[in-house]
Structure formats: structure tokens, C-alpha cells
A and B are shown apart, each in its own frame.
Chain A
Amino acid sequence: MHVPEDAVVSSADVALALASAASQSGVQIYDRTSILHVMVKRGQVAGVETDKGQIQCQYFVNCAGQWAYELGLCSEEPVSIPLHACEHFYLLTRPWETPLPSSTPTVVDADGRIYIRNWQGGILSGGFEKNPKPIFTEGKNQLEIQNLQEDWDHFEPLLSSLLRRMPQLETLEIVKLVNCPETFTPDMRCIMGESPSVRGYFVLVGMNSAGLSFGGGAGKYLAEWMVYGYPSENVWELDLKRFGALQSSRTFLRHRVMEVMPLLYDLKVPRWDFQTGRQLRTSPLYDRLDAQGARWMEKHGFERPKYFIPPDKDLLALEQSKTFYKPDWFEIVESEVKCCKEAVCVIDMSSFTKFEITSTGDQALEILQYLFSNDLDVPVGHIVHTGMLNERGGYENDCSIARLSKRSFFMISPTDQQVHCWAWLKKYMPEDSNLILEDVTWKYTALNLIGPRAVDVLSELSYAPMTPDHFPSLFCKEMSVGYANGIRVMSMTHTGEPGFMLYIPIEYALHVYNEVMSVGQKYGIRNAGYYALRSLRIEKFFAFWGQDLNTLTTPLECGGESRVKLDKGVDFIGRDALLQQRQNGVYKRLTMFILDDHDTDLDLWPWWGEPIYRNGRYVGKTTSSAYGYTLERHVCLGFVHNFSEDTGEEQVVTADFINRGEYEIDIAGHRFQAKAKLYPVPSLLTHKRRKEDVELSDLHGK
């Protein structure tokens, strides 16, 4: 890879330039001062205790690089910042006979895992080796950074690939091998944002060896975040709150960064799961499912089944399974989806974040009505899908809330919301001992029974009528399943398919699972995984929070109007923004695309992030995709914008604008025709619509 526009800057010089510019604007910089302690008062940063005295402050930014982990712990309320350093080596040589000109391009050889650039007429070359050496796991000993040893034996593979690529460098004389540790994060993305536990405590670290290139942008977003309360772009993927304390084990970090660092120069294939730091959080059924062929993915430390390999089937070895084309699990997931559609499947969904909010009076309802856009003042036993919006009407969370009693609510959110949602709720909830928020994620095992026969399985196990008359959709009841009493049964499946979610106190999990499987036998029950769930969801145009939905998308932009009750009588967060948006119209619209001329077997698959073209003009990118086994087509979700032809400015997007376009999705340079839909394909919504039931309204454009 040759990057012609590349430039080289010295990080030390950049830092000095920034420092002097800041000083000119009145910033005071204390050199050679170490922080002993960050002071916190009532969950808010109050000041910093240094070896030269105290400094009062409202904001504190931890951008201590590889020292950030330690510094995070030096706080009254420890802030866990998961990152770990690895030794990183680069080589300096004496000048070439005719010194290399400063215009010499920077060369990256990803196969050889090396980069090469001009250094004072000679070369500077380093790389990201396959077998990194993690360092400073014990912390505290980081003063050794001054006298780290060169390790030529370790550098040998990189030197070999350098000489393989440029054999003539052989005669260059070595100046030295520099050992300069770099910091890596558990998912190779940097960490920024406000601490979930201490207000005013900001973090910007873990640049995974790209600090100089990312520093400018990252700094801009962090500054916005501090000044306005939020950054101008969606940075959820970089947010500190995507991690919890659970990713802060030193052993975990040490193992994980050994996998992360080589990734820098590896081909990053879709749906790749980290192999290290696994099996941390598991459902009680883990062993049972694993024995039945489950293959696992990890989300927020939790193991979730992807799919189940039938006993007679073999999958490719891990390395061979890397592909951008049709993956080897295609047929396996197909049969799981088919079973969900025709019989019944069970998916272990224990990883979902589960909170309970209870109060002695109406406090719980009041705060939830304020925080959520849908009307939660529903009869006991009802389940409400709702967004948790910010002031701008954007989704901070997309969840389902069941009203367990007049004064208690059960809230189900995506797995990776555990820290973020908790922090958000805590931020807005008044200090009131009569209002209790509890994280009950670990208390329940969640089984999702999907499919038309789920009702039969459950009624047989509970001796209770489960028909829609007795148990309408989006309803929650505590009932007995098998011998186990007090199982929370909800008539929803997160997929739009008929079925039930069972929230089972963990000690009953194995019993209930065994009962469900044995009774389910005659209804053709089988295990299924998240890939099947994904496919089912996307056919129904269900968006994913964190992927399709983020803090910059509002319900009006993604067909979520029905989940917003603007006139519920409470001025909930984001209501004003939504009212305004309803008035002005939206500037982007989540749209469902069904690929038409895409050959599943031979063409590259969409793995999201593909450009969307409307009448030949770029209008946005896809945000998620999956194969719809019922449609027998690929389905992509993505936002369509309406850029002005003259100015490029964003304009209002109307349903009409969406419907009157010809669309193409560009997958790796090849454009495929796509049908755009604003609502799910009706034939999939209802079982079979009879001719005489067609209404005039069905003919209206939507």
C-alpha cells in the first residue's frame, strides 16, 4: 500500500505546538507534576490532588496513554479504562548512499506486517507482529519505559519481511532498534467520553498506535462532548461506556491485546469474533448448548450462540472460514430460520440487559414517563416498546418495558447497554430512597421460544390457555412452566414472529430448558442462534440499536412514530425536538432495501457500510444487512439522505422521495439493484390476508 498524500509529523513537535498554542490562550501547563488522586464529590469531579498541591476543577480529562489504566484507579470512585500496552519495535538506519529524499513515500506492507518510511535519509521501519509482547501488566513499573531493551530476536520476522520486500536494504547500517510500547484496547477502537460513574471525568486514550493520525479528530469530538454535552458525530463505538468493569481484568486485557495488535495489519473479515478473553459471562445453559453444537459469539463479555452445528455437519476451520462471500453457516442458519417459521425454536437470550425499576409510590412511573417516549402508563401486564431519547430526540436506547405492577417495571435493553443505560438512568433519577433501580441481568436466564408452535409447547407445560384471547401479544404474566413457578412469560420474541420470551430465575433455567426441549420434541423444536434471529428481524424491518439506531437518529427518521406518544401528557426528554422535526420533516430516513439481482452463492455479500445510490446519486450508507430466508433475498437497512444537487446541503426526505427512486447498493464496486421499502413487506406481516379484508387504506402511499 503506497499512500501518496501521506505526510510525516513528529508527535513530540505536534504536542509542543499544541501546548504553546494553548498557553497563548491562557492555559496553564504544569510540567513534572504527578497526580496523586482525583477528588470526587457527589459523583462529580471536584479537583485533582498533585504532588505540588490541589487544583480545583469541574472537568478532568484522563488522556494519560498507557498510564490511563492506573490513573483511572487513582480516583475516589475508580474509573475503569480497559487498555494494555504492548512492546512495539521500530528500526532506524543510517542514510542510504544517496540519502532518501523527504518526498519518499510511506509504504505499508500489510502482508509483511511492516511499515517503512524515510528517516534522515535512511529508513524507519516497524510493524505489528503476530506474537506481541504485552508489557506493564502489573502496572506501576512504567518508569522502566526509559530503558526498555531492544529485542532483535523478536524483531526477526519483521526484519525478514523488510528484506524480502526490499532486498537492497541489506547493506544499510543499523542505528538502533527502538522499543516504544503502544497501547491497545480490547476491540481495537479508541476510548473516549465521560465516565459512567463520575460526572466531569472524561477520557481519551487507547489509540491503538494511531494516536497521531486520530488525535485531531478525537480531540475535536471530545471538546464538543465537554462543551455541548454530546459530540457532533455518532461515537458510540468509541464510547468508554461500551465497556464495563468486566473488561478491566489485567489478565483479560493482557490476553486480548495479544490478539488485537496483530489485527492492525490483518484482513478484517465480517462477523469475526475475538478468540481470547472468552467464556467470561455465560448462561447456566452454556454447557448444554455447547454440547449440542453451539458456536459462540461474544457481546459485552457474554457468550451467545450464533448457530448450532448439526451432528452430521462440519464447519471450516477458523482460518478458512474467513470470507466476504457466502459463509459456511448459510445452510445451518437457513434450517434454523425455517424451523422458527414453521415449528418452534429456542434461543438463549440471557445476555440482554435487564433492569427493574420499582418505587413505593408513583415515582417509577413518573421518571419513566419522563425518560421514555412511549406511554408507559398502561395496564399492568402490558409490554411497551419504546425509545429512550436525548434532548435532540435521538435514541440513547431502544428497549422493551413490561409493567409488572402499578409500581414496578421490567426493562429489557440490548446487551451492550448495561453500562450506558444504567448511567443514563442514574443521571436523571432523583436521589430518592423510595425509587429503586436494580440491575437484574444476572438473575434471569432468558429463553426465546419463536414459532407458531411455541404456544403449544408452553400451554402443555403450564396447563394454562395461551391462545391470543387469553394471552394477547405484548403481554407479560408470571406463571409456572414445568415444576418451576414464577417464570415471567412475555408474548413477544424480538423478531415479529409469534412466540414467547421466558425470563427464568437462573436456578430454574436448566429445568425449564429441559422441559421445553422434551415437550417440544413432538412439535419439532430445535435450538437456534442469533444469526437466525438477525435474519428474522431484518425481514420485519426491526432496527438494531447501536447499529442502525444511535444518538443522532430519531424515531421519526426510522418509522418509529407509533412508539412515540407526543401527547401522553408528559414533557418527556426529546419531545420538543420531535415536535419540531414533525413540523419540519426529516433529513434522513431509515429504509429497507431488498437486493434484486444479487447472486447469494457467487456475489460478494453486503456486510453493511455499503454506499446507497438513488437514481445514480449517492444518498447514504447501509447500516445493517442480513439474508432474508423467506424473501430469498438479501436485506439491507440504511439511511437515505437528500443532498441538494447544487450545494450538497441536506434536504427534507419525504416518503415520496424514497418511493420515487431507483436504488442500487454498491458492494465492493459492483452495483446491485434494490427495492426500497419504508415498511416491512406486508405478506410477511400477516399470515394470509384474505381478499375481502383489503381496505382502501392499503392503497394509500405511506
Chain B
Amino acid sequence: MPAPTQLFFPLIRNCELSRIYGTACYCHHKHLCCSPPYIPQSRPRYTPHPAYATFYRPKESWWQYTQGRRYASTPQKFYLTPPQVNSILKANEYSFKVPEFDGKNISSVLGFDSNQLPANAPIEDRRSAATCLQTRGMLLGVFDGHAGCACSQAVSERLFYYIAVSLLPHETLLEIENAVESGRALLPILQWHKHPNDYFSKEASKLYFNSLRTYWQELIDLNTGESTDIDVKEALINAFKRLDNDISLEAQVGDPNSFLNYLVLRVAFSGATACVAHVDGVDLHVANTGDSRAMLGVQEEDGSWSAVTLSNDHNAQNEREVERLKLEHPKNEAKSVVKQDRLLGLLMPFRAFGDVKFKWSIDLQKRVIESGPDQLNDNEYTKFIPPNYYTPPYLTAEPEVTYHRLRPQDKFLVLATDGLWETMHRQDVVRIVGEYLTGMHHQQPIAVGGYKVTLGQMHGLLTERRAKMSSVFEDQNAATHLIRHAVGNNEFGAVDHERLSKMLSLPEELARMYRDDITIIVVQFNSHVVGAYQNQEQ
């Protein structure tokens, strides 16, 4: 999928390089260059290695370049108009409302809004949402790819099938297997809720199906007929691990079709984190692998919003993860296994799908690469073996599963890739979404009462509040609204159009320096249904 920013930059893209940087420099000079505290420079997932300068344009070069060029080129004003900004922000937005039936089987989920804003070209984030058809519940997930989008794409297509199959009772699995065997029509398992840009790979569909079928055949064989209760947590863990295992196996076995062969290798050598929520009535499970995050928006009795984190980041900021890694490897690796806040000094997330470079033995890696297609051989990155690579695997796709029982005050869940969390505090995220969903009813009215306030001060305050309000009304999608804030917020937490315009008009070569791909799903819960569940059980 082409990044929407491209649409607005045909001119720039055709200009000579110096012009690009000259323009960009002017645009960002005032706000970006001089006030770095507000724009955390995004760090690519892998530390740039001298050998891969071509893949990861080091930020230093850009800084030097612009500083030197600033005086040489004519500054051009380059603002996007509000409609242009909106068309970029809304290009990928998607909303789904759970249809209402007359009183029966009312879902605890009202619906969801999702959106993504690319920084990479093409975007490496993926998202998925589906309703389980043979069991109850809804699945929603965000996937943050790195070193390409092949892995995140594959996971976004396949993971929910693995989860759904893991949740299926024995009889249903048998029925499906029999149907496949006898060539009858299959029971549908998932109802996808997709944006037109969310594609599924046609070519690999057969291969993926065969792997999935093998999985359920094993589930059927393993079934002892003892317990019929399926544990969601276990099912989620099994599904994650099984899919990662299949990705690895498919790459090792290869495929006679050269396109597919290359595809499975790209999937295995790239990586993806996953954060998946399963909502069934009041039971909310979050399975997380990597550094995307699930955040629950809770409305307190006084109407204010608070954030409850339902996932732990698997990265260097999580001490338990660092501890786990150190325990899983010999003592002498304690210093090298996490270096510069990265796994083996390279990878930011400590759990991920794919990334066989951190999972396979050196032998296996070399063998697969050598027998693989030329494209793979020519790729410096795939050939590169991480330093201090002694006791693989260093990386796992096993998720950490959090269970939460929904309460009526739990109004929504935000699933988002780290692109969001790096720019905004969780408390702000929840407040902004909460205020958006409740139509800003809780923007406290201002009262002068006793304080000394001048007309000028009051005017300043009101203008700021209005700016906040107007951005609410522009968006029909909570995720879009959140992205608008994440990208356009100024020092005061209000959306600043100028800044938004600048951030969105970054040429795609530069966008990744200032922000990461952002993918957001906001799931809204039906408090009435959740409350009714509670009352029933009491």
C-alpha cells in the first residue's frame, strides 16, 4: 500500500535531492529543529550497523545535510490545507458497529474504530479484527512489523485462524476436518472486519491453509476427550507459538514455487510484534508479544478518565523481561544478551514473530540462506549473524496473556503499536479517547468564581479549549482523532494545525525520523450489556 503522503509530493519527489532537504529544513526548522523535546526522534528497531547504511539512513547525515543547506535554498512555505490533512489522516480509517439483534446475544462490544498512519514506506504495521463464528467472542489485534512488512502481514492474516481453531471444541474441529476430507462446504470460522487496504495474500493462501489444517489435525489427535472446557489463555499461547513455529518450518522446508519460496523466507527473516484482544462477554483476554500495548479506558464516578494497562511491554524497559532473558541464557552472556537496551544490541522488542535470525542456529541460518533464492543471498541484512550469538533461540513469540473481567466503568480498550505510545502518555491517550467518545461532555466548564482573571487571560484559555473541541468534531473515528493528537499536539496538548501539517508533509524518506508507523484500534464496550452480565451472575 502506498503511503498517502506520496500523493501530495509528486513535485518534491521529482526535484533534486537538495531541494527536498532544503524545503524540509525550512518547514521544520522552527518547531522541529529548535525544540527537540517535543518531537522525540524515532529510533528504528535495529541499530544502524555500518554495513546497512543503505537500509537505515542514519539520522546524523540528515542533520548535517540540512544544517549545511539551510542558507542555500529558497525557503518555501509548504502547508497542507485542513482538508488535505484530513484526507491523509482518514485514508485508512475504518469503523465497525456490531449489529444489534432484538434483545438476543447482545455483544459486550459496541464496535470499534481503527486507523493507521504510515511513516515507513510501505507501512510495516498491520491490524486485524474479526468475529469468531463458531465460538463466541471478537478478536482484535495490532501487529508492528520490522525489517519489512512480510512477517506482520502474514501474522495479521493467519494468527486469528490459529486462535479461533485453538478455541474450537473437539466436535467442531472434527466436523471441519471431515468436511475438508469429503470435499463438503466448510464451516466459516471468522468474520473479518477489514479496511479495503487490508489485503490478504492470494498466493500463499493454500500454503497457509495446509499449515493450519495440520495444526487442527494435531489438536484432534491430541484430544483425550477429558475436558471440554477450553481455556482461552492457553488457546492464545498455543496459537501464537504454533503460528511462529509454522512460519519457521515453512521457511526451512521451502516451496517449489519460487515466489512462495521467497515469500516464506521473507516472512521468517522479518519480524512482527502482536497485541491481540479477545472479548467474549465480560471476559477480556489480551495476548501480547512485543512492545505494542493494550490500554483500558476507565471512567471514574466523577466522570474523569483513568488508564489501566492490560499488557506488559517486552523490551529493555521491562525489568522482568531483562531478567527472563538473562535466566534463559548462560551467565557469561548476561552482558551481551541485552545491550544498549536492545536484544543482542540489535532488536528493540524482546519477543516477536519471525526474526529467525534470533531463533535459528547459525548452521541453520547459513544453510537456508545458501539454498535460498538469489535475492536472499544478495541481502546483506539476512546474511548478517548477530554478534554474541551463542545459545539460540534468543527470541520467542510466546505471548503474555492478561485477563480482565469487564466492569461497567470500563468504556473502551485502545490497542496500539509503539508508534502511539512513544508520542503520548497513556493517561492522555485514555483521556482524549474518553472525551472524544463522550462528546467532550466532561470538559469541565470554566467558572471564574473568586479568582482574578482578566479578559485577555480568559480569551487565551477559551481559544485553546475551542481548538481542542474543533478537532473532536472533525473526526468520526476515535482512532483518527487519537492520531491527530499524537502527531499534531503542541506543548499545551492541543492540536496545532501548522504542526500537524508539517508532520504529515514530511517526505517519506524523512517521515520515519520523526515518527513511527502508528496503528490504533479503539474498541468500545457496551456498558449496559456488561452491567447486565454482572447482575445476572450476582
Known: A150-B447, A150-B448. Contact between A156 and B463, CB under 8 A? yes
How would you classify the secondary structure of chain B's contact residues: helix, strand, loop or mixed? helix
Which residue in B445, B454, B461, B463 is a CB contact (below 8 Å) of A151?
Answer: B445
B residues less than 8 Å from A172 (CB atoms): 454-455
What's the minimum C-beta distance from A315 to chain B, rounded to whole angstroms?
26
* B interface footprint on A137-165 (CB within 8 Å = 1, 0 otherwise): 00000000000011111011001101100
B residues less than 8 Å from A169 (CB atoms): 455
Closest B-chain residue to A155, C-beta based? Answer: B462
Residue contact B448 to A177, C-beta cutoff 8 Å: yes
Residue contact A159 to B454, C-beta cutoff 8 Å: no
Residue contact B445 to A171, C-beta cutoff 8 Å: no
What's the minimum C-beta distance from B450 to chain A, rounded to whole angstroms?
10
Which residue in A149, A163, A176 is a CB contact (below 8 Å) of B455?
Answer: A163
Which residue in A91, A159, A176 is a CB contact (below 8 Å) of B462?
Answer: A159
What's the minimum C-beta distance from B451 to chain A, rounded to whole angstroms?
9
What's the minimum C-beta distance from B379 to chain A, rounded to whole angstroms?
57
Q: Is B362 an interface residue (CB 8 A)?
A: no
Q: Is B68 an interface residue (CB 8 A)?
A: no
What's the minimum C-beta distance from A619 to chain B, rounded to whole angstroms?
51
A residues less than 8 Å from B185 (CB atoms): none
What's the minimum C-beta distance from B463 to chain A, rounded to whole angstroms?
7
Closest B-chain residue to A150, C-beta based? Answer: B447
Which residue in B454, B462, B469 is a CB contact (below 8 Å) of A152?
Answer: B462
Which residue in B446, B452, B459, B465 is a CB contact (below 8 Å) of A173?
Answer: B452
Residue contact A163 to B456, C-beta cutoff 8 Å: yes
Among B453, B456, B465, the most chain A Cβ lie within 10 Å of the Cβ of B456
Which residue in B445, B448, B465 is a CB contact (below 8 Å) of A174?
Answer: B448
B residues less than 8 Å from A5 (CB atoms): none
Which residue in A153, A156, A160, A174 is a CB contact (below 8 Å) of B454?
Answer: A174
Residue contact A153 to B469, C-beta cutoff 8 Å: yes
Known: A159-B462, A160-B463. Contact between A153 and B445, CB under 8 A? yes
The count of chain A contact residues (Cβ–Cβ below 8 Å) is 22
A residues less than 8 Å from B453 (CB atoms): 173-174
B residues less than 8 Å from A149 (CB atoms): 445
Residue contact A159 to B458, C-beta cutoff 8 Å: yes
Q: Is B466 an interface residue (CB 8 A)?
A: yes
What's the minimum C-beta distance from A576 to chain B, rounded to whole angstroms?
65
What's the minimum C-beta distance from B69 to chain A, rounded to whole angstroms?
41
Q: Is A93 an interface residue (CB 8 A)?
A: yes
Closest B-chain residue to A170, C-beta based? Answer: B456
Residue contact A152 to B446, C-beta cutoff 8 Å: yes
Known: A171-B454, A171-B456, A174-B454. Contact between A156 and B462, CB under 8 A? yes
Q: In the complex, A156→B443 CA distance in Å?
A: 15
Q: In the complex, A258→B466 CA distance in Å?
A: 21
Known: A152-B446, A156-B466. Contact between A93 and B455, CB under 8 A? yes
What's the minimum C-beta distance from A618 to chain B, rounded to whole angstroms?
46
What's the minimum C-beta distance from A175 to chain B, rounded to whole angstroms?
8
Closest B-chain residue to A151, C-beta based? Answer: B445
- 8 A Cβ contacts from B418-473 to A: 443, 445-448, 452-456, 458-459, 461-463, 465-466, 469
Q: In the complex, A379→B476 CA distance in Å?
A: 70
Q: In the complex, A666→B120 CA distance in Å?
A: 70
B residues less than 8 Å from A175 (CB atoms): 448
What's the minimum C-beta distance from B187 to chain A, rounded to whole angstroms?
49
Among B458, B461, B463, B465, the most chain A Cβ lie within 10 Å of the Cβ of B458
Residue contact B448 to A153, C-beta cutoff 8 Å: no
Residue contact B466 to A153, C-beta cutoff 8 Å: yes
Q: In the complex, A177→B447 CA distance in Å?
A: 9
Residue contact B452 to A153, C-beta cutoff 8 Å: no
Known: A153-B465, A156-B466, A163-B459. Contact between A170 and B448, CB under 8 A? no
Among A93, A173, A177, the most chain B Cβ lie within 10 Å of the Cβ of A173
A residues less than 8 Å from B446 (CB atoms): 150, 152-153
Known: A153-B465, A171-B456. Contact between A176 and B448, CB under 8 A? yes
A residues less than 8 Å from B456 (CB atoms): 163, 170-171
A residues less than 8 Å from B462 (CB atoms): 152-153, 155-156, 159-160
What's the minimum C-beta distance from B183 to chain A, rounded to whole angstroms?
56
Residue contact A162 to B463, C-beta cutoff 8 Å: no
Residue contact B455 to A162, C-beta cutoff 8 Å: yes
What's the minimum C-beta distance from A418 to chain B, rounded to whole angstroms?
42
Q: In the complex, A641→B466 CA distance in Å?
A: 57
A residues less than 8 Å from B454 (CB atoms): 170-174
Q: In the complex, A91→B446 CA distance in Å?
A: 14
B residues less than 8 Å from A91 (CB atoms): 455
A residues less than 8 Å from B461 (CB atoms): 152
Among B445, B455, B465, the most chain A Cβ lie within 10 Å of the Cβ of B455
Q: In the complex, A200→B91 CA distance in Å?
A: 67
A residues less than 8 Å from B448 (CB atoms): 150, 174-177
Q: In the complex, A493→B453 CA distance in Å?
A: 67
What's the minimum C-beta distance from A24 to chain B, rounded to whole angstroms?
42
Closest B-chain residue to A156, C-beta based? Answer: B462
What's the minimum C-beta distance from A159 to chain B, rounded to whole angstroms?
5
What's the minimum C-beta distance from B6 to chain A, rounded to whole angstroms?
35
B residues less than 8 Å from A170 (CB atoms): 454-456, 459
A residues less than 8 Å from B469 (CB atoms): 153
Q: In the complex, A152→B453 CA distance in Å?
A: 13
Q: In the complex, A175→B445 CA distance in Å?
A: 17
What's the minimum C-beta distance from B373 to chain A, rounded to whole angstroms?
62
B residues less than 8 Å from A155 (CB atoms): 462
What's the minimum C-beta distance from B19 to chain A, rounded to whole angstroms?
40
Residue contact B459 to A159, C-beta cutoff 8 Å: yes
A residues less than 8 Å from B443 (CB atoms): 153
What's the minimum C-beta distance from A157 to chain B, rounded to whole angstroms?
9
What's the minimum C-beta distance from A168 to chain B, rounded to whole angstroms?
10
What's the minimum C-beta distance from B474 to chain A, rounded to whole angstroms?
17
Closest B-chain residue to A175, C-beta based? Answer: B448
Which residue in A151, A160, A176, A177 is a CB contact (below 8 Å) of B459?
Answer: A160
Q: In the complex, A286→B144 CA distance in Å?
A: 58
What's the minimum C-beta distance from B53 to chain A, rounded to whole angstroms?
52
Q: In the complex, A169→B443 CA distance in Å?
A: 27
What's the minimum C-beta distance from B232 to chain A, rounded to whole angstroms?
45
Q: In the complex, A172→B456 CA distance in Å?
A: 8
Closest A-chain residue to B451, C-beta based? Answer: A174
What's the minimum C-beta distance from B526 to chain A, rounded to whole angstroms?
29
What's the minimum C-beta distance from B469 to chain A, rounded to whole angstroms?
7
Q: In the complex, A95→B313 CA distance in Å?
A: 58
What's the minimum C-beta distance from B421 to chain A, rounded to whole angstroms?
31
What's the minimum C-beta distance from A284 to chain B, rounded to whole angstroms?
37
- 8 A Cβ contacts from A100-153 to B: 149-153
What's the minimum C-beta distance from A94 to chain B, rounded to whole angstroms?
9
What's the minimum C-beta distance from A119 to chain B, rounded to whole angstroms?
14
What's the minimum C-beta distance from A180 to chain B, rounded to whole angstroms?
16
B residues less than 8 Å from A93 (CB atoms): 455
What's the minimum C-beta distance from B452 to chain A, rounded to whole angstroms?
6
What's the minimum C-beta distance from B293 to chain A, rounded to whole angstroms?
33
Q: In the complex, A174→B457 CA distance in Å?
A: 10
Among A152, A155, A160, the most chain B Cβ lie within 10 Å of the Cβ of A152
B residues less than 8 Å from A174 (CB atoms): 448, 453-455, 458
Closest B-chain residue to A152, C-beta based? Answer: B446
Q: In the complex, A159→B461 CA distance in Å?
A: 11
What's the minimum C-beta distance from A107 to chain B, rounded to whole angstroms?
16
Extra contacts besides A150-B447, A152-B445, A171-B454 (20): CB < 8 Å = A149-B445, A150-B446, A150-B448, A152-B461, A153-B446, A153-B466, A155-B462, A159-B458, A163-B455, A170-B454, A170-B455, A172-B455, A173-B453, A173-B455, A174-B453, A174-B454, A174-B455, A174-B458, A175-B448, A176-B448
Give 23 pairs: A residue, B residue, CB < 8 Å, sorted on A: A149-B445, A150-B448, A152-B446, A152-B462, A153-B443, A153-B445, A153-B465, A153-B466, A159-B462, A160-B459, A160-B462, A163-B455, A163-B459, A169-B455, A170-B455, A170-B459, A173-B454, A174-B448, A174-B453, A174-B455, A174-B458, A176-B448, A177-B448
Nearest 6 CB-CB pairings of A with B: A170-B456, A156-B462, A152-B446, A174-B453, A172-B455, A174-B448
